[in-house]
Structure 1
Amino acid sequence: MLLIAFDSTQQALRTEMLLDYAEIESDTQPTPKSITAGCALSIGFPEEDFAKVKEILVAEEVEIRGVFRQEADGYVQVL
Protein backbone atom coordinates (compact mmCIF):
# COMPACT_ATOMS: atom_id res chain seq x y z
CA MET A 1 0.00 0.00 0.00
CA LEU A 2 0.98 3.59 -0.69
CA LEU A 3 -0.25 6.54 1.32
CA ILE A 4 -1.24 10.02 0.10
CA ALA A 5 -0.77 12.78 2.70
CA PHE A 6 -2.49 16.15 2.40
CA ASP A 7 -2.23 19.70 3.71
CA SER A 8 -6.01 20.11 3.90
CA THR A 9 -8.99 17.95 4.78
CA GLN A 10 -10.83 19.34 1.76
CA GLN A 11 -8.22 17.89 -0.61
CA ALA A 12 -8.31 14.53 1.21
CA LEU A 13 -12.10 14.27 0.90
CA ARG A 14 -11.97 15.37 -2.74
CA THR A 15 -9.34 12.72 -3.51
CA GLU A 16 -11.40 10.06 -1.75
CA MET A 17 -14.33 10.93 -4.04
CA LEU A 18 -12.13 10.92 -7.17
CA LEU A 19 -10.65 7.50 -6.34
CA ASP A 20 -14.11 6.07 -5.60
CA TYR A 21 -15.34 7.41 -8.94
CA ALA A 22 -12.35 5.78 -10.69
CA GLU A 23 -13.11 2.52 -8.83
CA ILE A 24 -9.71 2.47 -7.14
CA GLU A 25 -9.68 0.68 -3.80
CA SER A 26 -8.73 3.17 -1.10
CA ASP A 27 -8.68 3.47 2.68
CA THR A 28 -9.00 6.79 4.50
CA GLN A 29 -6.97 6.68 7.69
CA PRO A 30 -5.14 8.90 10.18
CA THR A 31 -1.88 10.38 8.91
CA PRO A 32 1.08 8.66 10.63
CA LYS A 33 2.96 10.95 13.01
CA SER A 34 6.20 10.32 11.13
CA ILE A 35 4.74 12.09 8.07
CA THR A 36 4.55 15.83 8.60
CA ALA A 37 1.30 17.05 7.06
CA GLY A 38 -1.24 19.76 7.70
CA CYS A 39 -4.14 17.31 7.60
CA ALA A 40 -4.94 14.44 9.94
CA LEU A 41 -6.35 12.33 7.07
CA SER A 42 -4.41 10.25 4.59
CA ILE A 43 -5.55 7.85 1.90
CA GLY A 44 -4.00 4.44 1.37
CA PHE A 45 -4.23 2.61 -1.96
CA PRO A 46 -2.64 -0.44 -3.64
CA GLU A 47 0.78 0.24 -5.13
CA GLU A 48 -0.25 -1.33 -8.44
CA ASP A 49 -2.69 1.59 -8.90
CA PHE A 50 0.05 4.22 -8.47
CA ALA A 51 0.20 5.26 -12.16
CA LYS A 52 -3.57 5.71 -12.36
CA VAL A 53 -3.72 7.59 -9.04
CA LYS A 54 -0.87 9.88 -10.12
CA GLU A 55 -2.69 10.59 -13.39
CA ILE A 56 -5.87 11.53 -11.47
CA LEU A 57 -3.99 13.75 -9.01
CA VAL A 58 -2.28 15.64 -11.85
CA ALA A 59 -5.36 15.91 -14.09
CA GLU A 60 -7.57 17.15 -11.25
CA GLU A 61 -4.83 19.41 -9.81
CA VAL A 62 -5.16 17.90 -6.34
CA GLU A 63 -2.85 19.52 -3.77
CA ILE A 64 -1.00 16.85 -1.81
CA ARG A 65 1.85 16.78 0.70
CA GLY A 66 3.19 13.65 -1.00
CA VAL A 67 2.81 9.94 -1.68
CA PHE A 68 4.63 7.63 0.70
CA ARG A 69 5.61 3.96 0.91
CA GLN A 70 6.04 2.31 4.30
CA GLU A 71 9.38 0.57 4.65
CA ALA A 72 11.14 -1.09 7.57
CA ASP A 73 12.73 2.17 8.75
CA GLY A 74 9.64 4.37 8.27
CA TYR A 75 7.91 6.14 5.39
CA VAL A 76 9.74 7.06 2.18
CA GLN A 77 8.32 9.68 -0.17
CA VAL A 78 7.80 8.41 -3.73
CA LEU A 79 6.03 11.49 -5.15
Structure 2
Amino acid sequence: MKDLNVCIIAFPSTSESVNLYKVLKNKRYNVVMIQTPCTISAGCARSIEIKENDLENIINEIKTNNIEIRGIFRKALSESTRRYYYEELSF
Protein backbone atom coordinates (compact mmCIF):
# COMPACT_ATOMS: atom_id res chain seq x y z
CA MET A 1 0.00 0.00 0.00
CA LYS A 2 1.22 3.45 -0.87
CA ASP A 3 -0.49 6.23 1.08
CA LEU A 4 -1.24 9.22 -1.16
CA ASN A 5 -2.04 11.72 1.64
CA VAL A 6 -5.40 12.38 0.03
CA CYS A 7 -8.89 11.87 1.43
CA ILE A 8 -12.26 11.74 -0.30
CA ILE A 9 -15.43 13.06 1.34
CA ALA A 10 -18.60 11.40 0.02
CA PHE A 11 -22.07 12.91 0.37
CA PRO A 12 -25.69 11.75 0.37
CA SER A 13 -26.65 14.54 -2.05
CA THR A 14 -25.13 16.92 -4.57
CA SER A 15 -26.35 19.96 -2.62
CA GLU A 16 -24.38 18.90 0.47
CA SER A 17 -21.20 18.49 -1.60
CA VAL A 18 -21.64 21.91 -3.21
CA ASN A 19 -22.31 23.54 0.18
CA LEU A 20 -19.11 22.16 1.70
CA TYR A 21 -17.12 22.92 -1.43
CA LYS A 22 -18.15 26.59 -1.25
CA VAL A 23 -17.31 26.80 2.46
CA LEU A 24 -13.87 25.24 1.97
CA LYS A 25 -13.02 27.33 -1.11
CA ASN A 26 -14.01 30.53 0.73
CA LYS A 27 -11.62 29.53 3.52
CA ARG A 28 -8.86 28.93 0.93
CA TYR A 29 -8.51 25.15 1.37
CA ASN A 30 -6.97 23.25 -1.52
CA VAL A 31 -9.95 21.09 -2.50
CA VAL A 32 -11.18 19.55 -5.75
CA MET A 33 -14.69 18.45 -6.69
CA ILE A 34 -14.50 14.97 -8.24
CA GLN A 35 -16.81 12.19 -9.33
CA THR A 36 -17.42 9.77 -6.50
CA PRO A 37 -15.49 6.54 -7.12
CA CYS A 38 -18.01 3.74 -7.68
CA THR A 39 -16.27 1.63 -5.02
CA ILE A 40 -17.31 4.24 -2.44
CA SER A 41 -20.89 4.97 -3.47
CA ALA A 42 -23.31 4.48 -6.31
CA GLY A 43 -25.45 7.36 -5.03
CA CYS A 44 -24.35 10.97 -5.21
CA ALA A 45 -22.03 11.56 -8.13
CA ARG A 46 -19.95 14.28 -6.44
CA SER A 47 -17.26 14.06 -3.80
CA ILE A 48 -14.56 16.39 -2.55
CA GLU A 49 -10.88 15.46 -2.58
CA ILE A 50 -8.82 17.06 0.20
CA LYS A 51 -5.27 16.92 1.51
CA GLU A 52 -4.99 14.67 4.54
CA ASN A 53 -3.10 17.43 6.40
CA ASP A 54 -6.32 19.51 6.37
CA LEU A 55 -8.56 16.69 7.58
CA GLU A 56 -8.99 17.79 11.21
CA ASN A 57 -9.81 21.38 10.26
CA ILE A 58 -12.22 20.27 7.55
CA ILE A 59 -14.03 17.94 9.95
CA ASN A 60 -14.53 20.98 12.19
CA GLU A 61 -15.96 22.91 9.22
CA ILE A 62 -18.36 20.04 8.48
CA LYS A 63 -19.60 20.05 12.08
CA THR A 64 -19.76 23.85 12.35
CA ASN A 65 -21.78 24.17 9.14
CA ASN A 66 -24.03 21.14 9.87
CA ILE A 67 -23.20 19.48 6.56
CA GLU A 68 -24.31 15.89 6.15
CA ILE A 69 -21.69 13.53 4.73
CA ARG A 70 -21.77 9.85 3.81
CA GLY A 71 -18.18 9.22 4.91
CA ILE A 72 -14.51 10.14 4.66
CA PHE A 73 -12.12 7.80 2.90
CA ARG A 74 -8.31 7.69 2.68
CA LYS A 75 -7.11 7.07 -0.86
CA ALA A 76 -4.28 4.58 -1.21
CA LEU A 77 -2.57 2.67 -3.99
CA SER A 78 -2.14 -1.09 -3.79
CA GLU A 79 1.39 -1.79 -4.95
CA SER A 80 0.56 -5.38 -5.86
CA THR A 81 -2.43 -4.60 -8.10
CA ARG A 82 -1.52 -0.98 -8.96
CA ARG A 83 -5.15 0.03 -8.24
CA TYR A 84 -6.57 2.66 -5.94
CA TYR A 85 -8.64 1.61 -2.97
CA TYR A 86 -10.39 3.59 -0.26
CA GLU A 87 -10.23 3.01 3.47
CA GLU A 88 -13.10 4.53 5.46
CA LEU A 89 -12.00 6.73 8.36
CA SER A 90 -13.88 7.17 11.61
CA PHE A 91 -14.10 10.57 13.22
Give the TM-score taking structure 2 as reference length. 0.81
The question of 1:23 aligning with 2:28 is answered yes
**Higher Rg of the two aligned structures:** 2
Task: Name the structure 2 match of 1:14.
Answer: 19
Aligned pairs, how many? 79
Of the three residues 24, 45, 52, the one matched with 1:47 is: 52
Cα distance, 1:24 vs structure 2: 0.5
Task: Name the structure 1 match of 2:3.
Answer: none
The question of 1:33 aligning with 2:44 is answered no
Query: Which structure shows the higher helix fraction?
Result: 1
Amino acid across the alignment from 2:65: E
Identity over aligned residues, as a percent? Answer: 30
Give the TM-score taking structure 1 as reference length. 0.93
Cα distance, 1:37 vs structure 2: 4.9
Structure 1 residue ranges without an equivalent (≥5) = none
Structure 2 residue ranges without an equivalent (≥5) = 1-5, 79-83
What CA distance in whole angstroms lies between the structure 1 residues aligned with 2:37 and 2:86? 9
Q: Which runs of 4+ in 1 moved over 2 A?
A: none
Cα distance, 1:38 vs structure 2: 2.4
Cα distance, 1:64 vs structure 2: 0.3
RMSD: 1.2
